[in-house]
Structure 1
Amino acid sequence: MRTIVARRLCTVAFIAIATSSSAKAATSYDVQAFGQQLSIPQNSASGYVLARHYITPMQACGYTRCDVMSVTYFSGTGAISSGPIITTNVSGISTRLLINGNVFSSPISFTQPIEVQLLSNGKPNLGGSLQGGVSGTLFYYNIDTRSSKTYIYMSGTITPIAGTCSVPSQTVKLPNTMLNKLDRVGSTAGLKNFQIQVNNCPKGYNRIGYLLEPVGGVIENAPGVLPLTGGSTASGVKIQITDDKGQPATMETSIQVDDYRKETGGSYAIPMQASYIRTGSTATPGTVNGALNVLLDYQ
């Protein structure tokens, strides 16, 4: 299970042509991840994601699609590592690279940003600089693509902060809806407003982010739509999550809690909406269930 708190996991239950790389001379790309002062929870269980940095295909290989052939890992001291989780030179902090949401295992292409994570490894977080090696000139990841090499460095100073936010679990019950209101694929009905609560955030963090993770995974080409979970008996209908303006929610990308203030901390409510959405050319009535994990990260 992918959890955080400094990811704190809560579950919200809901009831009711990419461009291919053309041949070019091999070149290299140097990418800096993080690169600022990072405030990280002082105490968190091993494996919790503490912070995230995203790298676009253009930054990684100069194209809208990168074809990855291999990934080589290095620890913060510059020693080669077996990966995929590697130690930094900051006590208590490890790092992991995700491509299309997974660690690298075989040649793969990506058109969406890849993610560099900082994770707790269960040791005391003593803070310090992430820069690899004594001089900060060593990289953590060497990505070989079909047309280039990408070197990922990490920089920034980690400051431990005592305490994290809390996110309570909740159940959102959508109203009963007649199937004939969902008369075509993409039509919605049964709108329900709800809020994601981010409570008791301590002061001192530079940024707090939340990430929405559908239970069952992201459905391709279906923005904001949740897979059906246990107990669902309807077909051709799912639940869609949107922001308070009706735009499909962004999944599996960290979004800043805008109202958080480093000087004061506090509690915050993120307004959201849920509704039924017709997803199949044929549909049958019944129960529609979905679930969403809310994950927090800190910088």
Structure 2
Amino acid sequence: MENTIPEFINYLMKVKNASASTIMSYQRDLKKLSVFLEEKGVERIQDVTATNLNSYILYLEREGFSASTVSRNIASMRAFFRFEYGQGRMQEDPAADLKAPHVEKKSPEILSAEEAALLLDQPDCHTPKGLRDKAMLELLYATGMRVTELISVKEDDLNLDFGYVVCRDEEKERVIPFGNAAKEAVGKYKTDARKFLLKGQESEYLFTNCSGSPMSRQGFWKLIKQYAVKAHITADITPHTLRHSFAAHLVQNGADLKSVQEMLGHSDISTTQVYMNLGFSKIKSVYAKAHPRG
């Protein structure tokens, strides 16, 4: 089976235009499946059965993998075997009837407005790195971009005069406005820090690391963790936390869901609805604490 995976990965890249993270996940999941099947004596793609795949799912569950991880592996198998069946290499699709486990949706972790302000105040703005970090954090919180979108922003995508950034995801682009705090932080970074970090190199990307190369997801993840510790914030912060906080704070302060949906780039407004529910939870909590008969 392993020798058929590269063709599928190439299909994801060239035909489906899948993101790098999706491709990496599929490749990792399918290689693990391939090893499992080979250990069971199943080496040819046409010999794989639904029983084999269900055995693998049971193996993942016994090993203690979360329901979301098992579900992602099932999605990888479905996509792969659908492709193989379509290529005529199999008599039937063994993954067609695989059932994903129920995944309980957790409410996203959000910061309070005070915690968000505290986090954004941590970078040392007397250093080029601190100016860059401040600009990245402010722009992320001001726009609700995904981290991959933030690190992919190019200089030409930014309009500081009118306060907006053109943000591109896998399917489309959207224009997101931002306020004075982000405008000031990004402007100061561009003026006082970016050339220093580039070290004489050229880059179309707005944010770079200290070697002048484009900023990575891992690099940004590390710095946001460091600033959370420095700010003594106990919540488990990830780069996505600022995206969730951006949306929740907008909704809590009266923004309409349709506008928030457009800024976040959600294709379905039901995905954005969770932030309305978070706002209602906050109202209920305030009521319970404040009302004399709460």
Q: Structure 2-normalised TM-score? A: 0.25
Which structure is higher in RCO with an 8 Å CA cutoff and minimum separation 6?
Answer: 1
In terms of fraction of residues, the more helix-rich structure is 2
Q: Structure 1-normalised TM-score? A: 0.25
